[in-house]
Chains A and B, each alone.
Chain A
Amino acid sequence: MQSSFQLAFLIPLLPLIGFLINGLGRNWLSKQWSGLIGAGTILGSFLISLFIFQAVKAGQGEVISYFDFIRMEGLRIPFAFQIDALSSLFLLIITGIGFLIHVYSISYMHEESSTSFARYFSYLNLFVFSMLLLVLGSNYVVLFIGWEGVGLCSYLLIGFWIKNQQYTKAANKAFIMNRIGDLAFLLAIFWLIIKTGSASFQEVFDFIQANQGTSKFSVTDITIVTLLLFIGATGKSAQLPLYTWLPDAMAGPTPVSALIHAATMVTAGIYMIARSNIIYSLAPLTLSIISWIGLATAFLAATIALRQYDIKKVLAYSTVSQLGFMFLALGSGAYIAAVFHVLTHAFFKALLFLGSGSVIHAMGGEQDIRKMGGLSGKLKITYATFLIGCLAIAGLPPLSGFFSKDAILLSAFLHQPLQYGIALFTAFLTAFYMFRLLFLTFHGSFRGTPEQQAHLHESPALMTIPLVILAILSVAGGWIGIPAVLLQDADWLGNFLAPVLGSTTHEVSHATEWLLMSLSVGGVLLTIGFAWFLFRHYRATESRGILRFFENKWYVDQLYDRVIVQPIFYLGRILKEWVEPRIIDALVNGVGKTVQLAGRQIRFLQSGQIGSYVLLMVMAMVVVLLVQFFIRK
């Protein structure tokens, strides 16, 4: 084993230890301690991840097997970690951003009682642990373990404030919707195991590349597997049709939202598909489906975000939309672009959420942007960082968002011009609603209550420092993937990921690239201007027509409720009220009742009269004799 990889097992282990300490010792630990443990463990794994990242950058990478999780005849599933470019990159994202969020949380959650404070950090650590497991796993089963783990942690954290049944309801929704995806994912894993006899990435990919199209692994198999995996991904990464849990996941504390949206959870789907890129490259049909679904999600979410007033909801839908972009990239075969966007998005989305958290914190829990405005004066750092975040997500050069989004748009263009058009429009929408948010929150005049105004204050350092760091990253994060057209062989990320995801060498003239870039940048600038014109001063407007439709989120939740949830429970009631007692059980009891009844009736044969007895006997005898002598003869 590579000497530098010997510590790999510590990366997930440290958060787990943190979880155990905080979880078991929650009644005894002081807030400082649990905060320290929570953040410290993550910091530890971040450092180790850095070492490993260095080693990987030096061209190393391998699969470290610890013990056999399942070993039986015809199937061996080791509990093993795979360390390569992709996983090491994600390790950095998860631990790095995770650490910042932990630090931020220490101050954000300070009002909680020490017990629930420790509980909170134990959950956070468990969350990070599961995500790390997911990323490190060298086969689909370990990946699935982490996959379910993040589902569980999201459930625990969304429902963190267990007093509020609305929140716990949202938590249940998140878990169950994830389970729907998980089922598809599981079926895909089973299919792979049955066909290839293994679940390890390397073996599966080798097998498929060897036998693709043959009876061993036909094209149908490939399509089925890839589709099932994708359905799994839609659950975790909040794509159509399983995205509705993510906006509701706002119920959790704001740092948790940051964690879910930026570092962990939602990126799992992207990771999984990127990890399986070898299979996907063989399934063009699936790829186009993915790209269309991603695009549709991006557009739908963007439109919804246009008319949301809850600051976190806007961000949530923007996440869904950005994830849509990533899937678009995956669908167009630009895996690197997708991962690139995951990276940059992690930076600025974490930034935005933590910023919004800072705002909410300052507003004393108020989340409705209609009651905000003009905060730029009081919350200077927050404003500055938030602005950077908006610029980044809008995709203005030279901020990180620009490069990743540009890569995606380019790939879409090459793959399917129509998609490019829609994607570009969606990008404008993004810029529009983000700056709407910015203006409504920080510009104009304050619209909250006086005491809120009195309460307004910049957040403490523990919260602002992470903001600043993230802001820096959001600015500079994109420079690791500068396309050739701007700067010759500066696409460091592409070269770094090429061994895993394959290099994307697309033949397109620099002129076109310049054209596309200028198109998007110009459009974004115009949109921002338009937004400034509209929302510089807030006017309460009754949304009408299509906008009302957007405000109500396309009525998707209501649709699901009517079409799926209600029928299921109605059917359940029918089964309980009717089928079970009146049909199945009635049949069973009916037998017993029949016996009773028969007994009651047959008794009367025993009339008590000698005459009737003799008569019956004689009749019986006569019948027997007649039958014997005249029929059976």
Chain B
Amino acid sequence: MVVLLLLLIPLIGACFLFLYKGDHRFVAAAALRLSIVSLLVMGASLFYWNTPEMLSFTAPWLTTLGSSLSLRMDGLGTILSLLTTTAYFILFWYLKGRTIERPAAFFAWLLLAQVGMLGVFLAMDSLLFYFFWELALIPMYFLASQWGGARRIPVTFKFFIYTFLGSVFMLIGILYLQSKTADHSFAIESIRRIRLTNEQQSWLFWLFFIAFAIKLPVFPFHTWQPDTYEESPTPVTSILSAVMVKMGILGLLRWLLPLFPIASYMWGDVVMSLAVAGIVYASFLAMQQVDLKRLIAYSSIAHIGLIAAGAFALNQMAYQGLLIQLFTHGINILGMWVLADIIERKTGTRSLDSLGGIAQHSPTLTIFFVIIALANIALPLTNAFVGEFLLFNGILATPSNYYWVFAVVGGLGIIFAAVYTLRMIRAIFYGQPSATSPAPISLATHEVGALVVIVGLILFFGIYPQPLIDMTAAFSKELFDQTDITSLFRKS
């Protein structure tokens, strides 16, 4: 039941806002309230962890095709829903009192996207999964294209068509699997029961992987991402990179790895190489960027590369770290975007060349930025540390001959991350105040509030990450049992 509520609240809110015509601040406040409500519902669902029937919902739907409206909140769903609701709450609080053109439509689209993403996180039926997958894409496309920058139309169209192309391949894969199931159903349980030959697994793997790789994005498929992040309005960008990216990772963890473990192992080296190459590549580009948003965009490509590598490390420690990272990366990158938005709005520029010396007169902003930036490079006692620690640990334990190459090359990312992050801090905050920021940058209460929430999460989970681990331990165990190569080969 709770899961259904999680979907219904934003859905109803979206429908209402689409039809609503009225003043700005009511819209923003309504959106904020909605986000609080869904956050509360999410909190409630955390208490129901031991009553599965509360956390799952099934209703007949498209029965003639063999699909059904089945939602369930497992460990993965929990942590991702938690991220989604939290991120939306923080974002909407931050956006409180912002004057946006046609705010009702803006928030309505955002809420609709929330429905889609939560649906992706909770769907236990492959066709339903695909439905929500696209449902999340459309609102983002409209948001980015309507409220975006100058080059928005071509850029976002590229983003849309690229991801859509990926998803249709996945659709073919889904249909093929459904045709192979005994009871001709799209349900994940019946798909799991199929005995696929290695050769089938191997091409199905690619059908699915391309979709997820484009969404993530993994190294050669990433070119839509910096442009889109740059051209989208920053609140939308933050949702894109904080939450939407996680759809791809969920795809890997819930669909790709458990369904095609052998193929994941066979192609593991290829994917790992792409991922770690992506880490270094993106870091190099991040070092070169002058535009703040592009810099953050590339840095997030690097992070995603690490996460993708962890997914194919095929061992429990990596999974565990990855699952934690899902949440922490979302929060941190959201913080980065919020700060980028503040800086851009208050100084009117995003270029590192024309920024500078902000620390002189606005220490508060500086402190927030430094903390979040350092969390972004996974300094100990920030939330990202534990996740990356376990991730790297797992990558070093990859069942592959090149495990140490992956670990070392991926590890270079740690160093490069420090390089471009410190470069960014130095360029924006240190030195003499530049022409763009002569006056102190004052933060409104709700802005400070949002940032405090982020920093609080960073420090709390940095010092005591155990709750996140407990939340996902069961899932990582299950996932590992499904993808444990040694036992698989013993079976076959």
Contacts and interface: CB of A to CB of B under 8 A. Distances in A.
Interface of A: 67-75, 115, 141, 144-145, 148-149, 152, 155, 159, 162-165, 168-169, 171-172, 175-176, 179-180, 182-183, 186-187, 190-191, 193-194, 568-569, 571-573, 575-576, 580, 584-585, 588-589, 592
Nearest to A581: B223
Interface residues of B, number: 54
B317 A580 contact: no
A169 B222 CA distance: 32
A601 to B, nearest CB: 21
A571 B284 contact: yes
A70 B411 contact: no
B380 to A, nearest CB: 4
27 contacts: A69-B386, A70-B386, A72-B317, A72-B473, A73-B316, A74-B317, A115-B363, A141-B389, A144-B380, A148-B380, A152-B374, A162-B429, A164-B431, A168-B430, A175-B422, A176-B419, A180-B415, A183-B411, A183-B414, A183-B415, A186-B389, A187-B408, A569-B287, A576-B284, A576-B285, A576-B289, A592-B161
Nearest to A573: B288
A575 B281 contact: yes
A145 B287 contact: no
B301 to A, nearest CB: 11
Contacts of A165: 426, 430-431
B432 interface: yes
6 closest cross-chain pairs (CB), A and B? A145-B380, A585-B223, A572-B284, A576-B288, A168-B430, A172-B422
B464 interface: yes
A162 B431 contact: yes
A186 B411 contact: yes
Contacts of A580: 223, 285
B354 interface: no
B24 interface: no
Contacts of B360: 162-163
B432 A163 contact: yes
Given A71-B466, A163-B357, A186-B389, 18 more contacts: A69-B466, A75-B317, A144-B380, A145-B385, A152-B379, A162-B430, A165-B430, A165-B431, A169-B426, A172-B426, A175-B422, A176-B422, A179-B418, A186-B411, A572-B285, A576-B288, A576-B289, A588-B224
B442 to A, nearest CB: 15
B352 to A, nearest CB: 13
B407 A187 contact: yes
B198 to A, nearest CB: 28
Contacts of A163: 357, 360, 430-432
A183 B320 CA distance: 21
B392 interface: yes
B390 interface: yes
Contacts of B476: 72
B43 interface: no
Contacts of B289: 576
B469 A70 contact: yes
B287 A572 contact: yes
B430 A194 contact: no
Interface in B414-472: 414-415, 418-419, 422-423, 426, 429-432, 464-466, 469
A598 B31 CA distance: 46
Contact of B426 (A168, A180, A568): A168
Contacts of B426: 165, 168-169, 172
B394 to A, nearest CB: 9
A68 B465 CA distance: 9
- Which of B379, B397, B422 neighbours the largest number of chain A CB atoms within 10 Å of its CB? B422
Contact of A194 (B396, B408, B418): B396
Contacts of A191: 396
Interface string B269-296: 0000000000001001101110000000
A147 B304 CA distance: 26
A584 B220 CA distance: 7
Contacts of B379: 148, 152
Contacts of A152: 374, 379
Contact of B380 (A75, A149, A171, A176): A149
Contacts, number: 129
A164 B359 CA distance: 12
Interface string B293-326: 0000000000000000000000011001000000
A133 B98 CA distance: 44
B456 to A, nearest CB: 14
B202 to A, nearest CB: 24
B462 to A, nearest CB: 10
Nearest to B395: A190
A61 B473 CA distance: 35
A573 B284 CA distance: 8
B36 interface: no
Contact of B465 (A69, A149, A162): A69
Contacts of B419: 172, 176
Interface in B215-264: 220, 222-224
A73 B284 contact: no
Nearest to B464: A67
Contacts of A568: 284, 287
A144 B363 CA distance: 29
Interface string B78-121: 00000000000000000000000000000000000000000000
Contacts of A144: 380
A575 B288 contact: yes
B482 interface: no
B381 interface: yes
A107 B177 CA distance: 75
Nearest to A119: B363
B382 to A, nearest CB: 10
Contact of B284 (A141, A575, A592): A575
A575 B396 contact: no
Interface string B355-370: 0010110010000000
A194 B220 CA distance: 31
Contacts of B397: 190, 194
B477 interface: yes
A104 to B, nearest CB: 26
B270 to A, nearest CB: 17
A199 B462 CA distance: 18
Given A176-B419, A176-B422, A179-B418, A194 B431 contact: no
B429 A193 contact: no
Contact of B158 (A155, A164, A176, A592): A592
Interface string B23-55: 000000000000000000000000000000000
Nearest to A147: B380
A265 to B, nearest CB: 16
B393 interface: yes
B284 A68 contact: no
A219 B285 CA distance: 40
A436 B224 CA distance: 62
Contacts of A74: 316-317
Contacts of B224: 588
Nearest to B419: A176
Contacts of A72: 316-317, 320, 390, 469, 473, 476
A179 B414 contact: yes
Contacts of A164: 431
B147 interface: no
A68 B466 contact: yes
Contact of B477 (A73, A141, A573): A73
B162 interface: yes
Contacts of B223: 580, 584-585, 588
B324 to A, nearest CB: 10
Given A152-B379, A159-B430, A572-B288, A186 B477 contact: no
B448 to A, nearest CB: 14
B414 A575 contact: no
Nearest to A194: B397
A115 B359 CA distance: 13
Nearest to B426: A168
A575 B477 CA distance: 40
